[in-house]
Amino acid sequence: MPDWGGEFLPSAENYMGGNGFLLTLAKGFMPSLAAVSKIDFPHRVSQAEVKAYAKELFRPSFPQVDRLMGIFDNTEIVTRNFCQPLADYSLARTFRESNESYIQTSLDYSVQAIEQALGSAQLQKEDITDLVFVSTTGLATPSLDALIMNRMRLRTDVNRIPIFGLGCAGGVSGFAKANLLAMARPDAVVALVSVELCSFTFLRNDFSKSNFVASSLFSDGVACCIVTGDQRPGNAGITYHAARSKLYYDTLDVMGWQFTNDGFKVVFAESIPEIIRKHIYDDIASFLALQKMTLDDVKNFIFHPGGRKILEAYQETLPVDGDFLFNTRQVMNDNGNMSSASVLYVLERFWRHGFENGPGLMVALGPGFSSEMVLLKMNNR
């Protein structure tokens, strides 16, 4: 079991190659998760409804649709979290129209998620020092963080970091970066916002298997985490410990988007579970070894719910007893795959329903192909 004492140096060396200045600056500064919020959209529908609707939507242009409908039944998803009514999928919208809807919807729900998290943390909007915005399902310049600042009238000197393109891995990566900001500045209040509105990327005339898989899995999610430096009062039950990124060479075609005249065409390879089986145990074990830990030390598994086959690959590969992915599976069953926001919904579930005292491990994989990991100290107070 690791020594969680005050002499522990946080994981700045994993990012900066052992830069002595940053290590000295980071020593003893342990950022905390002060609050986490999520959005439950008003248009939640059952997976059975989505399947029936997709069948009728695809059938006129794709007579072979029946042979692919079984994909919906094998997901273990019960309901989907959507920001728009199911009927809107049938609308013939240009990419411009879809993206404008993405921007407006993202702005509205981002503000709502931030206000909810600030209220839970008993902080004011004037306290925010940094704003990290993560998304991969729409485009905006000025970036959404600038729009959020204008809408909420945040301080004009807020440090903004927009992150695009990390896909499902963006939630863990964004959380790591939010904590690094709070580590460097102990009076920081960092708002991390993840917005993924996958429904606006749906292409009704894309009959590829990847699109059918995406249609059976992906949904919409918005989450906000408030991370504070150690000189800010608040809940210190979950504190940052370390982080690590890993890119796998020659896997650029595994996951991502092809940008077409019609919008975002999904790339989703069948090899993802096999990549997990090949790499994830060694990656996690080596990451934990840097912290003088093993997998047996981890008490809370905060994994991105990518899909049934991905969860099975984790369970088959990681020698962990019991249903260690229970919270992850519940989020998937209730919401579907919300890309980068999903893992923050899992974190929110741990936050709301409780966790076991001890280390917590956040894991997500995304385009690159790559993995992101964060190690937490989790102690109920």
Q: Residue 68 contacts by C-beta under 8 Å, 6 or more apart in sequence? A: 209, 212
Q: Listing from the earlier edge strand, what are the strands of the sheet with 189-197? A: 159-164, 130-135, 189-197, 220-228, 32-38, 238-247, 370-378, 358-366, 300-303
Active-site annotation holds for 198? no
Q: Is the dihedral of CA 285, 288, 292, 297 positive or negative?
A: negative
261: DSSP letter? T
Say how far apart CA 133 and CA 162 lie, in whole Å: 5
Beta strand 79-80 with 45-46 is antiparallel
Say how far apart CA 113 and CA 151 lie, in whole Å: 13
Burial of 62 (0-12, 13-18, 19+ CB in 10 A): middle
**Residue 117 three-state SS:** helix
Q: In this structure, are residues 258 and 374 in contact, taking their beta carbons and an 8 Å threshold? A: no
**Annotated catalytic residue, options 83, 168, 198, 225:** 168
Q: Enumerate the active-site residues.
A: 168
